[in-house]
């Protein structure tokens, strides 16, 4: 049986072969995708989004395709999805960035490109929601703020699981359990 492939978009600076990517390969999956590192990191935001959209359309536009995204990788996927018809495959979004975020206690924040677009499209009913998607976010995640993520999920109809006491890193045990239930059994 050929190895099933997962299209993976890690968080900013993340690698395909470590962390979540390693968890996918240890379950018998091949992993391909885009890393927001090196040359790709330097591209204009729209060029990155167009590359992700092209990857999906050319190689993963099937109802049995698997897409896993994390953090800023989720942000890129959601923006690529915004310019496409509803994605037919399965999408697992872990701690996706949905808009800007601030942490007053740490005195840090981040305003990604087009920070308001996703919520605006969702709230006006113009977001082309993936057909098979789910979101997991930590209740204490200040980067993928659960209030923003839940508002987005509710507006477009994507189920959101808010993990009690979870931060931006949901933890290997939690994510491993999600993968074990979400991934097709025949490839594991």
Q: Which residue has the higher pLDDT, 109 or 170?
A: 170
Q: Is the pLDDT of residue 106 over 50?
A: yes
Which secondary structure element, helix H or strand E, spans residue 181, and what is its range?
Answer: helix 172-182
Q: What is the pLDDT of residue 104?
A: 65
From the DSSP assignment, how many helices (H) and strands (E) are in the chain? Answer: 7, 8
Which secondary structure element, helix H or strand E, spans residue 138, and what is its range?
Answer: strand 132-138
Q: How far apart are CA 159 and CA 50, in angstroms?
A: 26
Q: What is the pLDDT of residue 64?
A: 96
Which secondary structure element, helix H or strand E, spans residue 67, and what is its range?
Answer: strand 66-70
Q: Is the pLDDT of residue 74 over 80?
A: yes
Superfamily of chain region 5-187: Alpha/Beta hydrolase fold, catalytic domain (3.40.50.1820)
First to last CA, the chain: 12
Q: Which residue has the higher pLDDT, 81 or 98?
A: 81
Q: What is the pLDDT of residue 1?
A: 40
* pLDDT tier, 115 (very low <50, low <70, confident <90, very high otherwise): confident
Of 26-30, 102-106, 156-160, the poorest mean pLDDT is in 102-106
Domain limits of the chain?
5-187
Q: Is the pLDDT of residue 89 over 90?
A: yes
Q: What is the pLDDT of residues 123-163, one digit of tens each?
A: 999 999 999 999 999 999 988 889 999 999 999 999 999 99
Q: What is the mean pLDDT of residues 82-95?
A: 97
Among 51, 19, 56, which Cα is nearest to 36's?
51
Q: Is the pLDDT of residue 2 over 60?
A: no
Q: How far apart are CA 142 and CA 2, in angstroms?
A: 40
Q: What is the mean pLDDT of residues 55-60?
A: 97
Q: What is the pLDDT of residue 142?
A: 82
Sign of the dihedral through C-alpha 158, 164, 168, 174: negative
For 178-186, which contacts have Cβ atoms below 8 Å and span 24 or more sequence positions?
178/92, 178/94, 178/136, 179/23, 179/24, 179/27, 179/92, 180/27, 182/90, 182/92, 182/134, 183/24, 183/27, 183/29, 183/66, 184/4, 184/64, 184/66, 186/1, 186/4
Strand partners, 93: 69, 135
């Amino acid at each position: 049986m050929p190895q099933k492939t997962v299209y993976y978009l890690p968080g900013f600076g993340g690698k395909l072969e470590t962390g979540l990517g390693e968890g996918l390969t240890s379950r018998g999956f091949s992993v391909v995708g885009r890393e927001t590192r090196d040359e790709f990191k330097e591209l204009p935001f729209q060029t990155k989004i167009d590359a992700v959209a092209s990857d999906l359309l050319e190689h993963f536009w099937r109802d049995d395709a698997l897409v896993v995204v994390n953090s800023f990788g989720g942000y890129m996927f959601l923006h690529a999805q915004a310019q496409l018809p509803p994605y037919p495959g399965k999408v697992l979004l872990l701690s996706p960035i949905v808009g800007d975020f601030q942490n007053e206690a740490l005195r840090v924040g981040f305003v990604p490109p087009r920070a308001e677009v996703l919520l605006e499209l969702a709230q006006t009913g113009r977001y082309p929601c993936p057909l098979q998607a789910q979101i997991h976010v930590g209740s204490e995640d200040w980067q993928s703020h659960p209030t923003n993520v839940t508002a987005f999920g509710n507006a477009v109809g994507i189920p959101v699981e808010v993990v009690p006491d979870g931060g931006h890193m949901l933890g290997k045990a939690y994510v491993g359990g999600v993968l074990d239930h979400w991934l097709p059994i025949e490839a594991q």
